[in-house]
Structures are given as structure tokens and as C-alpha cells.
Amino acid sequence: MTVAKNCRRFMLVLASTAILGACATIQTGHYTDDNVDFGAYQSFSWLNSDPYIAPDGSASVNPLARAIIENAIRTELQEQGYRYIENRDEADLLVAYTVGSRDKVRIESYPVDYRGHWGWHDPRSHYFFRDIEVRNYTEGTLGIDLFDNETGKPVWHGWAQKTVTSQDRADPAPTIEAGIAKLFAAFPG
């Protein structure tokens, strides 16, 4: 194999890894009422005229981000075969969502020798000296809830969670859409 082919192959693997790694940073999970037959549902609507449920005292969500979230939820449910109905009284499922963020701190400690031996020192010094790394970050969470319109009972709850980056703040649409798509990939409908 030539050097050019090896280089192209390496770049392809590197690009694939970067793309998969970006998707892997979004964690998702869900809870389903096992007594519910999702095959019986055919339509959905929003829980209220404003499907965003804001906890008391929480910061509001950017209206543009809310539009992206609502469009992505609607698209995913329609791709699952559900029909959107404007009149919530006629829908089988009602949908609501919440958004939140939490500032966190990650502290890591490891022996000084972890990075290798540099200069003259006591070879046992790694037992006594440690490097400490502190990192502040924000974790964002999106929760989606589906309710049976007839009974009012919750039938499905899903959540997507990710460390918020400066790119996410500048352009949240790709992350929101990827998170909601990943979340609905496990939807029972």
C-alpha cells in the first residue's frame, strides 16, 4: 500500500471516529409504562398551548431553542407513524418537555509521575506528590413526557443529557436534533 492510501485511510478512520464520538457524548434513557399498548395510539398533540414545563424559579429557555425542540419532537413522532393533531382533545397522546442545566465540577487527582520522569528527583516521590486537575462544566438535560389523553397518566418519559460546549451555545440546533433523534430511536411506538 502506498503512503497516500495509508494517509487517506487514516483520515477516513479519524473522521469517522470524530463523528461517532460527537454522537456518543449525548446520553439518553427512557422509562415506559409496560402496561401500555403503543400500537393503540395513532395521534399526538401538545399538552398545552405551551408544551414547555418550566419548574418554578428556573431560568427560561431561549424561544428559538424551544422552537427547535418542538419541531424535532414533532418530526420524530411523525417519523414513528403518529399524526399531529392541532386540537389536543382529539389526540391519543399529549406531549410536554422540560429543559434544565446544572453547573458541575470535575476533580481528578493522579501521581506526579503519571506524566513521566522529568529531571532529578526521588524515585518514590510519586507516592507523596499528586497533580490535581479541576474542570468546571455545564450539563444540559432535556426531558420529554408523553401522557395518555384519555386517562391523563404518563406512559413514557425520555431524557437526553450532554455536557454543554461553546459550540452548543453558539448553535444549539445540531445538538438538540441529534439528542432528540437518539432519544426516540428507542421509542416503543
- pLDDT, one tens digit per residue, over 120-131 is 555 555 555 667
111: domain range?
27-184
- Give the chain's domain count: 1
DSSP letter for 52, please. B
Q: Is 137 inside any structural domain?
A: yes
Indicate the range of 41-45, 129-133, 145-149, 177-181 predicted with least confidence.
129-133
* pLDDT at 166 exceeding the cut of 90: no
Q: Is 1 inside any structural domain?
A: no
Helix (H, G, I), strand (E, B) or coil at 22: helix
Whole-number pLDDT of residue 17: 37
Q: Is 44 inside any structural domain?
A: yes
Q: pLDDT of 1-50, one tens digit each?
A: 454 444 444 344 333 333 434 444 899 999 999 999 999 999 999 998 88
Q: Is 21 inside any structural domain?
A: no
Do 173 and 68 form a contact (C-beta atoms < 8 A)? Answer: yes
Q: How many CB atoms neighbour CB 72 within 10 A?
A: 21
Question: In a 10 Å sphere around its CB, with 0-12 CB exposed, 13-18 middle and 19+ buried, how is residue 120 labelled?
Answer: exposed
Q: Is 13 inside any structural domain?
A: no
Q: Is 69 inside any structural domain?
A: yes
Q: What is the CATH number of the domain that holds 37?
A: 3.30.160
Q: Is 170 inside any structural domain?
A: yes
Whole-number pLDDT of residue 186: 86
